[in-house]
Chain A
């Protein structure tokens, strides 16, 4: 497994540049790096090379259009692209848009907190290492789950996958967003409290 925090930091910065400046050079670099991986991943999940190519192209267009929503304190570029590819694939199969959680808009601060983004990447690297070092049976289960060779009832039997500290890290980022949203939005008269 080749996981390099410095690399991930570089790609996160490139993606932020696409969102902030609509930077075409940054997009071309991201395409070169990630398009072949997204396509390979989709093939691993069972798509034919032709469908995987179409799906990957949709994913890269979405990268361009949604880059301004990317929050490097909550996901690495790989993770963000993974979720886009997964959703796009499901949408293609179902022909309906998959329900997604309500978005938490990125707070009012224009620049993401560098230290938090770095810490998130470090936690992501540790998570990847932890997954790589799992006993073969559990590691196999994760791969089969994410490559689509498993039913949801099979995974329901399995709990205790190692999330490590990444969950707390993401939780902090979400709390910061909530705080920013609350100070940003006026409280409605009467509120909606119960």
Chain B
């Protein structure tokens, strides 16, 4: 099956890199990066297999640690909780069910509280809309961007690294095309010019470890107020 219901199976041309997967496996990443990895992995079975491979390294380390003494009532305390509670499938939100027709993968739907049709976008000019996701650690910011087909993303450089994951539509950057599930990583040496491919709006998850700095469209001072 190449198209349709499980379009998450499409072969990803520009997959997420091992460095992010190792970071996720080890639990090292800032929250916004975690969201990026969980979302990208939901769209890319090969990345999922690599991630689970790195997690097996963590399992190997767990297996060889010395044992620690437990509190005396440890087992009884756990049994008391087990006897008082049901199984996971009776607990709301605990089992993450894929919804084959959703545009946004489950981790992103959970973070945003809905799929693309129910979101409350905010215009930032030139038809570009965004939603900034809360970040509790302040180390990196995640935002959902929607860019009209054929429209250039506002010209920007960035202070740190910017990671873009395509969720819908596609964008072109130089001679490369990024479609659903593809990831582009741009460091601060790159002044790149992504353009949404014609045909449909391009929706992306963008994670930056420093605020974006738009060069032309919006005076720099406004960035702070607009939070973009």
What is the interface of chain A, defined by CB distance below 8 A to chain B? 1-3, 22, 27-28, 31-32, 35-41, 43-44, 49, 52-53, 56-57, 60-62, 64-66, 68-69, 74-76, 78-83, 85-87, 89-90, 94-105, 124, 127-128, 131, 142-143, 145-148, 150-152, 155-159, 161, 163, 166-168, 170-171, 174-175, 178, 181-182, 185, 187-188, 191-194
Contacts and interface: CB of A to CB of B under 8 A. Distances in A.
B201 interface: no
B107 A101 contact: yes
A118 B7 CA distance: 31
B175 interface: no
Interface in B21-75: 22-23, 25-31, 33-35, 37-39, 41-42, 45-46, 48-71, 74-75
Interface of B: 1, 3-7, 9, 17-20, 22-23, 25-31, 33-35, 37-39, 41-42, 45-46, 48-71, 74-75, 77-78, 81-82, 85-89, 91, 94-98, 100-101, 105-108, 110-111, 136-137, 180
B45 A86 contact: no
Task: Give the top 8 A-B pairs by smallest Cβ distance, nearest first.
Answer: A79-B59, A36-B67, A128-B60, A193-B3, A40-B68, A191-B4, A171-B49, A78-B59
Nearest to A181: B6
B49 A161 contact: no
* Chain B interface, >50% SS class: helix
Nearest to A19: B87
Contact of A38 (B48, B53, B54, B62): B62
Contacts, number: 261
B49 A37 contact: no
Contacts of B54: 161, 163
Nearest to A96: B136
A39 to B, nearest CB: 4
Contacts of A65: 82, 85-88, 91, 94
B8 to A, nearest CB: 8
Contact of B65 (A22, A40, A64, A175): A40
24 contacts: A3-B60, A27-B82, A28-B75, A35-B70, A40-B67, A57-B74, A78-B62, A82-B61, A96-B31, A99-B107, A99-B110, A100-B96, A101-B48, A102-B98, A104-B98, A145-B28, A147-B61, A148-B27, A157-B19, A158-B19, A170-B53, A182-B1, A188-B101, A191-B3
